[in-house]
Structure 1
């Protein structure tokens, strides 16, 4: 490959130098670093099963700008480790990167991805909460591609038998899970309670559903109200102490909790929408439904999940990468994200499409969940924040429960303060 002209090389260096905290300039169509040709798209293996036909269509229409899929590990923490190692080495191996929504601040702060011009994308037609996941310090760093929100799966047949309406509060869920667990010899409720990112998600949902928060919106202060956080943590720990949350759920990630529910071993389960389709082909087919997560005094708030598409600051094909992102996040492909991949799209109008609702009856509930969902703590140090939260919550869940939830929350807050204040 011929070496780039000196002017282009200088432009790249100036762009990279500008990618510092709070000081980056938006990249506009007339001054963006050039670079076209074959490029790569790196994203997690858990999201790629349906992608190749969509990529093949792009390649047929853009023979000089062919995209090659690079599959990253399935687990989010392993994906992050691989991408970070690549970007720290300033490698140009990855051009378009599928970012977990919680990575935006870290990658922007480090100068690993470039900011984008908002006007190049129809963001006003996206779900507003989803757009927020791609924004950091008032700049757009990626484009939402798929979203996600936690839902409460429940056995509607068992609720009907006992005369229960779907629970809207923790108190209702506790009562119903206790009754159903005892009368039907079934686990009452479970989420993702292994000490990993899923546990951080479940805790964040509990805090938000109690009306609290963990960090300030800009990620510079710990704003966790100890009483609200302890209320959320105690709701879950109480379930383990009283038995309506089965002890085996301490080993559950998404897949284990999905299987436990669809095999008929749980009355209630917190999980992402991806579990809906498999459940319709399982022993609980026709016997379950979904609703919003319950909260302290009414419906709760899910944590936002999903994948955003960003451009590596070290890519030599940034023009082609940008063109691909604009194409791939368009309405026609977003419909395929749902119909072929079963992932929640980011275009708001798709959630109101009667044909899609007939195929995916959970869409109205999911839309409500997405519109009321909350971001997990926004911080360039999110990985450290998440590890502290998961470790602390795991202590509160471990028998013989000698440490009170208030003590766990206080210790957690102190550790988070140290992380956020550290230079």
Structure 2
């Protein structure tokens, strides 16, 4: 969700870099890029902002051993929407300014369908060592168009001290979550539960998670078929709208993004919180009101554990890159086991290598890893579509009206189905 901020690793400003790149080459879309015979040379990696600074150190290691194929890092603004807008502007113009793109997993299908990113030779990467669901985020139309770089899945954070005092266990079902949020939270002066319900990509994630946890889907056949008008989808949306109507989800949660919801939990104002793994480290930091008092489990569902959407990012090669061979080698470097370990230990971002989630030394430092592994393995990609941006906006608009009580769940799901069919027909 980001790291998108997905992880909460929000994105930095690149305005001051624009002038330095303004003179770099571009061409009309579809025109092949000129390249040296081997497709090798300096490359540029564009990404959301690296607030921890870990990525520059990793790229310094590459540059020391590749003096003729150095990588330049470009960091984009503090907004996933702004990151996508700037990338799309460059790609749509046929620019070769960016060689390797660190993209939100949800953008892969859109970028691939538009012809902006080149297919990837999967034999160059240890995909069999990755957590299986993350590889699915990098495919479209039966082809691999990117390589998973970091992953993410939603977790349910809970006040362990409060539940222990009440003799309760963390909820595994929606009914258990609702009961505890309604009855236990008020006794401790807290609100019951919150997720990310402001109309932005976070709301799409929360709604899709509820729908798929109930056994439903939003789209099928990579956006060609609309499947959302179902009892399962209505049940999933009812879980959220019912919580707001009955008060165990506070109305203020309608303005929550990842950060507002994390702050509310970290300040001791929530019994339960749905958020990404980055919140674990921040809530456990010195000075946090809940440090040492909370835990995390997989998201609940109607009859047992639910299903998160996958967050994180994939690495893709600009179809107009003049140095695709170097770009592919850089991607192999960034997804190697050694670098993936640094992604976790220095960047606090969940890696895609499966073995790292059970390594004892890492689990001691990041106790949420085994729980996150279970969540990732049960997770699914967000709905694939060549028009994903329009799909997400439709989900947000309809869900906002339903959550605010302006439209019934049944009417909202039927309306969303109509809007998604219109999007699919345009595609």
Q: Which TM-score applies when normalising by structure 2?
A: 0.90
Match of 2:130 among 120, 123, 126: 126
Worse-matched range after superposition: 202-211 or 219-228: 219-228
What residue in structure 2 maps to residue 95 of structure 1?
Answer: 99
Residue 56 of structure 2 corresponds to residue 52 of structure 1:
yes
What residue in structure 1 maps to residue 317 of structure 2?
Answer: 311
Match of 2:349 among 319, 334, 343: 343
Match of 1:397 among 396, 403, 407: 403
What residue in structure 1 maps to residue 145 of structure 2?
Answer: 141
Alignment of 1:15-414 (within 5 A): 34-45=38-49, 49-281=53-285, 282-398=288-404, 401-414=405-418
Q: Which runs of 5+ in 2 are unaligned?
A: 1-26
Secondary structure of 1:235's counterpart equals helix
Hey, what's the Cα distance between the residues in 2 that align with 1:382 and 1:13? 25
Worse-matched range after superposition: 209-218 or 296-305: 209-218
Hey, what's the Cα distance between the residues in 1 that align with 2:299 and 2:36? 43
Secondary structure of 2:395's counterpart equals helix
What residue in structure 2 maps to residue 19 of structure 1?
Answer: none
What residue in structure 1 maps to residue 23 of structure 2?
Answer: none
Instruction: After superposition, give the CA deviation of every residue in 1:279-324 in whole Å (9 maximum; x if it has no partner).
Output: 1111101100000000011100000011100010111121211111
Aligned alpha-carbon RMSD (Å): 1.8
**1:161 Cα shift?**
1.3
**1:218 Cα shift?**
2.5
Secondary structure of 2:219's counterpart equals coil
Structure 1 380/33 Cα, relative in aligned 2: closer, same or farther at 3 Å? farther
Instruction: Decide whether the 8 Å contact of 1:216 with 1:222 is kept in 2.
Output: yes
Q: Which TM-score applies when normalising by structure 1?
A: 0.91
Instruction: Decide whether the 8 Å contact of 2:228 with 2:416 is kept in 1.
Output: no
**1:48 Cα shift?**
6.2
Hey, what's the Cα distance between the residues in 1 that align with 2:306 and 2:185? 23
**1:226 Cα shift?**
2.5
Hey, what's the Cα distance between the residues in 1 that align with 2:136 and 2:411? 33
Instruction: Decide whether the 8 Å contact of 1:210 with 1:296 is kept in 2.
Output: yes
**1:76 Cα shift?**
1.5
**1:13 Cα shift?**
4.9
Instruction: After superposition, give the CA deviation of every residue in 1:118-145 in whole Å (9 maximum; x if it has no partner).
Output: 1111100101100000011111111100
What residue in structure 1 maps to residue 18 of structure 2?
Answer: none
**1:403 Cα shift?**
2.1
Instruction: Decide whether the 8 Å contact of 1:58 with 1:66 is kept in 2.
Output: yes
Instruction: After superposition, give the CA deviation of every residue in 1:124-171 in whole Å (9 maximum; x if it has no partner).
Output: 010110000001111111110000000000001111111211101111
Instruction: Decide whether the 8 Å contact of 1:227 with 1:406 is kept in 2.
Output: no
Hey, what's the Cα distance between the residues in 2 that align with 1:254 and 1:14? 41
Aligned length: 397
**1:14 Cα shift?**
6.0
Instruction: Decide whether the 8 Å contact of 1:384 with 1:419 is kept in 2.
Output: yes
Instruction: After superposition, give the CA deviation of every residue in 1:237-278 in whole Å (9 maximum; x if it has no partner).
Output: 111111111111111101111111111111100000011111
Hey, what's the Cα distance between the residues in 2 that align with 1:192 and 1:396? 15
Instruction: After superposition, give the CA deviation of every residue in 1:399-421 in whole Å (9 maximum; x if it has no partner).
Output: xx252111111111111111111
Structure 1 84/410 Cα, relative in aligned 2: closer, same or farther at 3 Å? same
Hey, what's the Cα distance between the residues in 2 that align with 1:384 and 1:365? 32
Hey, what's the Cα distance between the residues in 2 that align with 1:317 and 1:223? 41
What residue in structure 2 maps to residue 25 of structure 1?
Answer: none
Hey, what's the Cα distance between the residues in 1 that align with 2:422 and 2:57? 47
Hey, what's the Cα distance between the residues in 2 that align with 1:359 and 1:193? 31
Hey, what's the Cα distance between the residues in 2 that align with 1:33 and 1:179? 69
